[in-house]
Each structure stands twice: as C-alpha cells, then as structure tokens.
A and B are shown apart, each in its own frame.
Chain A
C-alpha cells in the first residue's frame, strides 16, 4: 500500500466514511424495490384487466429482487470489512467519544439495516410464490 492510499484509508475511517446518508442506502434500496414491484404490478393489472395472467410481472419482480439483493449485498460486503476491524475488543456498545468509534457505530447500524432490508425484500417476493393472476 502506498502512503497516499494509507492516508486515504485513515481518512475514510475517520472522516466522511459512513455518514448518515450512506447508513440508509439499504432501506432506500428496499423502498425502490418495493415501489417498482407495487407500481409495476398495479399498472399492469389495471391496464390489462383483472383476469390477466401475471407472467411478465413475475419476471419484473424477480429481476428487481435480484438487483436489490445484489445492491444490498455489495453494501453489506463493504460494511462487513469495517465490522471485522471494530469488533476486535468485543465492543457491542460503540460508546467511545472518537470519530473512529462514530464511524464504526454508523457502519454497524448500516450493516444491520442491510440485513433487515434484505429480509424485507425477500418477504415482498413471497406472494409471487402463489399468485398467478391479477385477481
């Protein structure tokens, strides 16, 4: 690692790093996924009639789910690396008064939000297991 990269690494850990916006990336992905699924199905069923088959919309939902999970997964991967560094002293409280701790805390919250968002995304896909029509 060059010295320049090392500086950047430290800065990422202590400076901007995980800020309030990046904490909510995963739930944002959930929200986008939810809207795509709901709006897509609603327009489709409204325009094609209530006795239509769901065919294409299933593909849309499954595709959206795949994209959403990849996005959340990428975020999880990044945050997992931060966690690897922060849990070395069995620290569950994240209560030290340093910028590093704040960064680790936010990363930890973001990581758990990734898990929650992934669960919610998968939940939303469950109805697709059954339904075949716009009824």
Chain B
C-alpha cells in the first residue's frame, strides 16, 4: 500500500459515519445537512397539504368542507410551517450541507452545534405540526396578533410561541456556525474577493439573523409572560398595547423575508455561471447588493403596519425605505441577466428553474414596489392582492431557486443525477400551476376579497377566480410531487453521476462523491473558479498535494484561516460523533414543551438534563489541550493546534452569539421606552419605580464581578492560576450579590407585575439581567473547575477568554438596566 492510499484510509476512517443506530449520533456537516434538508422538505409537504385544504375550502362559495375554527388552524399552521419550518431552516440546511465544500473546509467549525440545531428543529417542528391532530393548533394567523392570540386563543398560542422560540434557537445556532465558517474556514488563498458568492450571502444572512430573530424572541418572552403569568404587556386595560407586539414581530418579520430570499438567490449565483459557462458578471455588484439589502431590510418593518393608524410621516419614512430596497434587489437580477448575456447557455433543468424563478420573482418584486406606496397599501393590505404578492416573492424568490439548487446539487450529495425528463415536467407543471393559482388572486383582491376568510358569498362574484386558483394549486402540487418522487425513488440500478457533472468551476465540485471528509487535500486557491482556471486542479488535489492530506493522529481536523486574506493560522480539531447534542436538544425541547402544558416538574428536569448535557459537551471536546503545540499541515507549514482569544473561532462564536443576545436585550429596552411614549405618565400615577439605591448597588456589584473576571484572565495569563481561581470565586460572589440587588429594587418597592405594563417591563428587565448574571456565575465556576483540573492553564486559556467576553456583554446589559430602571423615572 502506498503512503497516499494509507492517508486516504486514515481520512476515511476518521470521518466515517457511525454504523447502525449510532448513525444518528453523527455530527458531520454532510450527514446533518442531509437530515436537515430532508426534514425541511417533509415539513414543506405538510404545509403544502394544508395549503390544498385551504384552496379546496375556497374552491366554491359557502363551502362546508372544514369549519371556521379548523380553517383558522389550517391557515395559521400553513403560514407558520412554511415560514418557520421550511423557508428559514432550508437555508440553514443547504448551507450546512454545501458551504464547507465550497470553502474547501472539511467541516464547519462547530459540528455539534449544527447537530444540536437540527435536533431542536426536528423536535420543535414535530411538536408544532402535531398540534393540529389534537385540534389544538395555533389559530390566530402566523403573526399572532394580540389580543386575539393572548386573550382568546387556547393552548395553540403557547405551542406556537414555545415551539417556535425553540426553533429560533436553532436558527441562531446555525447563524453562529455559518458566520464563523465563512470568515474563518476558507481554503488558504481564498481572499474575501475570491470567496464564492454563496459565502457572501451566507455571511450577510447570518448577520441579519443575529439582528432579526432576537426581537422576536424578546416578543415571545413578553407574550408568554402575559399568557403564563398574566403580565399585561398587550392588555390595554392595564397599560399594555397590542402594537408593541406588531413592532417586535415585524422587526423580525420583514428582515426574515430577505433572510429567506437572499440564500435562495445565492444558489442562483452559483448555478447561473455554471450554465452560462463563464464567471459571474458584476461580482462586486452582487456583494454590494447583498450587503445593501441586508441593511435596508431592517427599515421596512412598518410597511406591514401601514393601516394601524401611525402618523403619515412614519408611513412616509417606511414607504421610502421599502422602495429603496428594490434597488439592490434589481442589481442582483441585472447581474444574473448580464452573466447570461455574456456567456453561452447550456439548457438544463436547474437553469429552467432559475428562469422560472426570475419570471415569478420579478413580478412579485414589482407588486412589492406597488404595495410599498402606503396609500395603495391602505387598499390592498390584508386582501388577496397581498396573498398573491407574497406568494410571488416567496415562491419566485425562494422555492424555485431552491428547486434549482436541489436539482443542481443532487448529484454532488447523492451521487446520482435526477431525471431530465421528469425535471422538465415538474418545472412546467409547477410554473403553470403556480401562475394559474396566484395570478388571478391579484384580481380577486382588487375585487375586494379579504385575506383569511373561511367562506364567501356566491353573490360576491369571486367564485370563478377562486375555482381557477384552486385548480392551479393542485397542478402546482402535482409538479412538486414529481420532483419529490424523483428525489426519493430507488435508483440503485442507475449509473453514478460523473464527478463535477455540470462542469462547474467552484470548489465544492472538486470533491469525490462519498468522501465524508470533503476534499482529499485542502488546496491553495487563487481564483474564483479554480476548476476552470487550473486544468490540473483536481489531479493535484487527489494527489494530496494540498494541506491536511492525512489524519495520522486520528482526529477530525480542518483549517482556520484569516478573515480577509485567508492566511492559514490554525489547525482546528472538531468533534467526532456523539449523543450530547441530541440529548441537549431533548432537554431543551422538554423545557419548552412541558412549559406549554404548565408541567413544572418535568420542565425543571428537562432543564437539568439540558444543563448537564451542555456542560458535559463543553467539558469534553472544546478547548482541549493538544498533545503537541503545532503540527505540519503539509509542505512544512507548521500551524498551531490551539489558539485562544480574538484569533480563535470559539471567541468569535461567543461574540456573535452575544451580539444576538444583546439585540434581544435592546428589544426589551425598546419595550420599556415604547411604554413610556404611549403613556402620558410613566411610571403611572401612584406607582413609584424601584428607586435608585438598589439599582446603583446592583450596577456596582455587576461592575465588580466583571472586573474580577477580567482580572482573573490577566492574572491567569501572567502565570498565576491559583490567584486567578481566587478572583473567579470572588467574581461569582459579587455576581450573586448583584442578582439579589437587581431583584431587591422592584421587590422592596412593591411593584406588582400583574397590575400594569410598567412594573411588568421593569421586572422583565430585572429577570433578564439576573438570568445573565446566573449564567455568568456558571461560567466562572466552569473556568474555576477547568483550571483546577488542569484543562485550563496560563498557556491554554481559551475558556477564560470566552467567559470574559461574555462578561463584557453581561456587564453592559446589567449596568444599562440599572441605569434605566433606576434613573429614567426621575427624568419623566
């Protein structure tokens, strides 16, 4: 056996998926990505069945197929499933599956986090979907407006809130994973201007998730506090306001539309050049438009609230931003068209789906420009015109591109090619069915049909149009099923797809099918389309001439490079298969699910399980002290095996997570000031705030604990682990004192959170801070234990670096909260 074969066997053995039932403990991106994609499509099929029930009910006037109550559950769940269980997760799924290959990485930097996210998604999704079989699905529409959802909904509202909060955790986990992946795990030489466009989009979308999802999590928290504990955030009789929910929901909800759209467009950015047989035209234009869309999409949320009676001037601002976002969107489309113009097109099924996507999305975008004009929206808002518009954008901007991506990447992932004939059939049925179904809806809406009606009178004159829409929906479904069938049908007899079947130029096509480790060796990249520009590329790759061509220590290893120029800086050892991510997800799932039914003891047990699994997960396999300082990555390039501080991927993961967490805090703070703006007196007359004494003491204790943690890191690095441990203990005590002082303010002043929105929001902020301080104490204890067990030393100190970073954020949140609840009442 030659050396080369031995190396290959090592790699295969190290990265092999476990066999039998242990297969489900795998964490590798190719396996988890596949589960994720399949699960998202399964939920999509479920949501599709719900859609067909809706269309059948509306096929004829005064239909009695389902009753109003059932219909409401069906359309609520349809929207919820498609948005939260398909559109967003499919981005995470596909990115986990294909991103590492594109970047030339062996895996994402935190494989167990991907697996954890997947299990959260699966458990939460099954929980939410399953509710309809018990006639207890959410029934207040997918944006759950209070007071209908808070005061008149059954357990369905709790299932929606807790089930989806749980899934949002998975999204944020994926965002952390993918951002760090794009920034730090690119192949050497892959400068930021050579990164595949998909990577750019993932980076932008990951960033958007960090700022879009946390406001919804904060909103969910307020919502659930009202449902569970009667804290009146949205109850107008006690100083609440339902509009606050609408703000928090849509601050999430509009960026979410672009969180769905951009990754799908990113697939087009990979597919179009392949079939135009030339590099993408206007690479920098596309990067600009992805970034620009990412920003502008945060200035649009009020266009979902144009009819709530806000001042015209506010509507004007949001109309303007909603129009502005059309510019970067248009740029992307023109870049694709000019790529096609400059190239020579190979006709193929993915390209067909790309063109269909363009035709549908452009129309949806144009109606979007129309509804962005507030006075026009006053008319069509909540009518079938909007139903048509949103399906044009989502199906043209997301589903068709994803279908193109599925057909395109299927050979890479499954090793076989999909049928061209079935693909063409599927496309034309879907394209025709979609337009037959949704184009007439514009007119139905203009004729006055409101959204979310379970019935309509025969005399309204909408019957023919609705019947047409229903027929179209079934044709559409048939087209979709053909593709699904083609994906899942047994195809053992068929020949394997050749390597790089579409003759693409990007790195993900360089891998051989079946190699779980990705590329045979990690190449040096010097162009955007290495497979086109270097004819010798795959030979060199397969010969193991790149980096990390072997795995002699039996560890899973991938390369970490610098952010801008992708210079190799570390060999990162990533986790092997294990059950902990699944157990942690089950524990966290138990917390959310049992809380829905108010079963407090199982909830507590679930939390304990989650905590145990997380701590054990961190204890084993993160920041492990390597057996040697550095190793040869290949060609004599010596790279360290352990990095701590700002250069490490763990530090970035903490930074990104805490950015999201801090956004949620800002959303709660927004709630505080929102209540101030709507009330002439805030605090309300007769209520005194928590005073300034306790908040000041709390703030000082928070600062003390932060300072001690920071000092501990410095002292540890200076070579005094004993003193560092002492400082950690002192910091923990200070944090516990801070917890008590934060709570003492509202407690001693007798603020009762059920009486009014003011005490309720003060308590919420206090509890938020206490939860963070408590987590901080846990982290200090963790570092203490790591230091005691010799897993953290003055040289290997990643743990305390990351904990200190956490404390920076926790301290800011603590101090800001103390200042706001303590001093703001004095200013008003």
Contact = CB atoms under 8 A, between A and B. Distances in A.
B192 interface: yes
Interface stretch (B295-303, B689-697, B742-750): B295-303
B319 interface: yes
Contacts of B678: 46
B299 A127 contact: no
B191 A50 contact: no
A99 B311 contact: no
A51 B527 CA distance: 61
Most buried by A among B189, B311, B321, B328: B311
A54 B323 contact: no
Contact of B311 (A37, A42, A101): A42
A93 B192 CA distance: 13
B314 A123 contact: no
B63 interface: no
B497 interface: no
B305 to A, nearest CB: 12
Given A38-B314, A41-B311, A105-B192, A124 B320 contact: yes
B192 to A, nearest CB: 6
A95 B299 contact: no
Interface in A20-63: 20, 23-24, 27-28, 30-31, 34, 37-38, 41-43, 45-47, 50, 54, 57
A126 B302 CA distance: 17
Given A19-B564, A99-B191, A41 B292 contact: no
B317 A127 contact: yes
Contact of A131 (B193, B291, B313, B527): B313
Contacts, number: 137
Contact of A109 (B284, B310, B311, B318): B284
A46 to B, nearest CB: 5
Interface string B186-197: 000101111000
Contact of A43 (B291, B302, B315, B677): B677
Contact of A97 (B194, B282, B285, B677): B194
Contacts of B298: 31
Contacts of A27: 291-292, 295-296
A94 to B, nearest CB: 5
A38 to B, nearest CB: 5
A95 B313 contact: no
Interface in B273-327: 279, 282-285, 287-288, 291-292, 295-296, 298-299, 302, 310-321, 323-324, 327
Interface stretch (A3-11, A66-74, A113-121): A113-121
A98 B298 CA distance: 34
Interface residues of B, number: 44
A85 to B, nearest CB: 16
A134 B283 contact: no
Nearest to B287: A109
Contacts of A127: 312-313, 315-317, 319-320
Contact of B677 (A20, A46, A119, A134): A46
Interface in B674-690: 677-678
B192 A41 contact: no
B526 A97 contact: yes
A102 B319 contact: no
Nearest to B325: A120
Contacts of B310: 42
B291 A113 contact: yes
Nearest to B203: A20
A31 B291 contact: no
A106 B283 contact: no
A106 B192 contact: yes
A124 B287 contact: no
A135 interface: yes
Residue with the greatest number of chain A CB neighbours at <10 A, chosen from B525, B527, B564: B564
Given A116-B328, A123-B320, A134 B311 contact: yes
Contacts of B565: 99, 102
A82 interface: no
A113 B292 contact: yes
Nearest to A38: B317
Given A20-B563, A47-B677, A94-B284, A101 B191 contact: yes
Given A20-B563, A45-B313, A47-B677, A124 B321 contact: yes
B528 interface: yes
Contact of B284 (A38, A54, A112): A112
A112 B288 contact: yes
Nearest to B193: A105
Contacts of B525: 97
Interface string B316-351: 111111011001100000000000000000000000
A128 B678 CA distance: 24
Contact of A34 (B285, B313, B317): B317
A112 B283 contact: no
A92 B310 CA distance: 45
6 nearest A-B residue pairs (beta carbon): A127-B316, A105-B193, A27-B295, A123-B320, A120-B324, A97-B526
9 contacts: A30-B296, A97-B189, A97-B191, A116-B324, A124-B317, A124-B324, A125-B320, A126-B320, A135-B311
Given A116-B292, A133-B312, 7 more contacts: A38-B314, A41-B311, A109-B288, A112-B285, A119-B327, A120-B299, A128-B313
